[in-house]
């Protein structure tokens, strides 16, 4: 599993988790995107507002794990798992760990993480194998992303790289600051970025790079 993480709310984590899952699905992969931000969940809402092809957008992470004991993603559209209806009654870290066991190893799986450095933000990082940093290129956002990168490394979930969102270009020092390569750049598009052809193309390029550099030998991609 890959934890899609960032230091600030509104940094583009949810859009990136969904955009990547859809891009990999377009390549024939059985992709999964799960909402790990249980206090401020919006993955399922974004999925329902921007497309009608995603599978099981009303199924929660807990239902997926407890209901069947496994997750069987399709290759025609990503499986989207919502936050639980009563998150206070659920142990996040155990749930994400169970999700990792339930999803086939060959399925690209993205956890849409909470912002910041709270225990809630740490839980998906502890369960995931690697992280993917998402950040705008504002000074404060980059500083927070660097803190998130440090936390991810301490939790044995080192960043694969960084995705710069709402960016026309990426200065070279960004990779040095965050200690990982820039894997992609997503241009500005409002009000519905996932419907914008340039944004879709950017996520296709990012998915291709992730598949080549991390998913080769792991993910089932047509």
* Cα 64 from chain centre: 18
Model confidence pLDDT, tens digit, residues 137-160: 999 999 999 999 999 999 999 999
Q: Is 70 exceeded by the pLDDT of residue 69? A: no
Which range among 46-60, 99-113, 161-175 shows the weakest confidence by mean pLDDT?
46-60
Q: Return the HEC string of 23-84.
A: HHHHCCCCCEEEECCCCCCCHHHHHHHHCCCCECCCCEHHHHHHHHCCCCCCCCCCEEEECC
User: In the chain, what percentage of residues exceed pLDDT 70?
Assistant: 95
- pLDDT band of residue 56 (cuts 50, 70, 90) is very low
Tell me the pTM: 0.94
Stronger pLDDT, 179 or 53, i.e. the higher one: 179
The closest alpha carbon to 95, from 167, 5, 34, 151, belongs to 34
Model confidence pLDDT, tens digit, residues 101-123: 999 999 999 999 998 777 788 99
Give me the torsion for CA of 172, 173, 179, 182, rounded to 10°. -30
Q: Is 50 exceeded by the pLDDT of residue 131? A: yes
Q: Is 90 exceeded by the pLDDT of residue 35? A: yes
The closest alpha carbon to 96, from 62, 48, 140, 138, belongs to 62
Give the span between the Cα atoms of 149 and 116, in whole angstroms. Answer: 11
pLDDT given for residue 73 in this prediction: 82
Contacts of 50 by beta carbon, 8 Å cutoff, 6+ apart: 18, 192, 194, 195
pLDDT given for residue 136 in this prediction: 94
Q: Yes or no: say if 22 and 51 are a contact pair by the CB < 8 Å rule.
A: yes
Q: What angle do CA 206, 212, 216 make, to 5 degrees?
A: 130
Q: Is 70 exceeded by the pLDDT of residue 172? A: yes
The closest alpha carbon to 90, from 68, 61, 122, 56, belongs to 61
Q: Yes or no: say if 165 and 15 are a contact pair by the CB < 8 Å rule.
A: yes
Stronger pLDDT, 207 or 69, i.e. the higher one: 207
Q: Is 90 exceeded by the pLDDT of residue 17? A: yes
Alpha helices for 112-222 (secondary structure H): 119-127, 139-154, 173-178, 197-210
Q: Is 90 exceeded by the pLDDT of residue 81? A: yes
pLDDT given for residue 222 in this prediction: 72
> Rounded mean pLDDT of the chain?
90
Give the span between the Cα atoms of 11 and 7, in whole angstroms. Answer: 8
Residue linked to tokens 């290759």? 75
Model confidence pLDDT, tens digit, residues 180-213: 999 999 998 877 889 899 999 999 999 999 999 9
Q: Is 80 exceeded by the pLDDT of residue 70? A: no
Give the span between the Cα atoms of 173 and 217, in whole angstroms. Answer: 31
The domains of the chain, with CATH numbers, are 2-214 (3.40.50.300)
């Amino acid at each position: 599993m890959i934890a899609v993480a960032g230091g600030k709310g509104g940094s583009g984590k949810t859009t990136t988790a969904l955009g990547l899952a859809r891009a990999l699905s377009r390549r024939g992969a059985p992709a999964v995107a799960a909402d790990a931000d249980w206090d401020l969940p919006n993955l399922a809402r974004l999925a329902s507002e921007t497309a009608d092809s995603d599978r099981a957008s009303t199924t929660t992470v807990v239902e997926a794990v407890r209901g069947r004991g496994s997750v069987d993603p399709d290759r025609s559209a990503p499986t989207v798992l919502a936050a639980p209806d009563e998150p206070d009654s659920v142990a996040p870290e155990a749930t994400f760990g169970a999700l990792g066991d339930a999803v086939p190893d060959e399925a690209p799986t993205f956890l849409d993480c909470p912002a910041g450095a709270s225990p809630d933000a740490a839980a998906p990082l502890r369960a995931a194998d690697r992280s993917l940093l998402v950040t705008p290129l504002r000074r404060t956002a980059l500083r927070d992303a660097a803190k998130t990168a440090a936390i991810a490394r301490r939790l044995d979930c080192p960043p694969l790289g960084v995705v710069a969102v709402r960016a026309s270009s990426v200065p070279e020092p960004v990779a040095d600051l965050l200690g990982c390569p820039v894997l992609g750049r997503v241009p500005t598009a409002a009000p519905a970025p996932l419907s914008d052809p340039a944004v879709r193309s950017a996520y296709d390029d990012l998915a291709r790079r992730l598949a080549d550099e991390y998913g080769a030998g792991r993910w089932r991609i047509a």
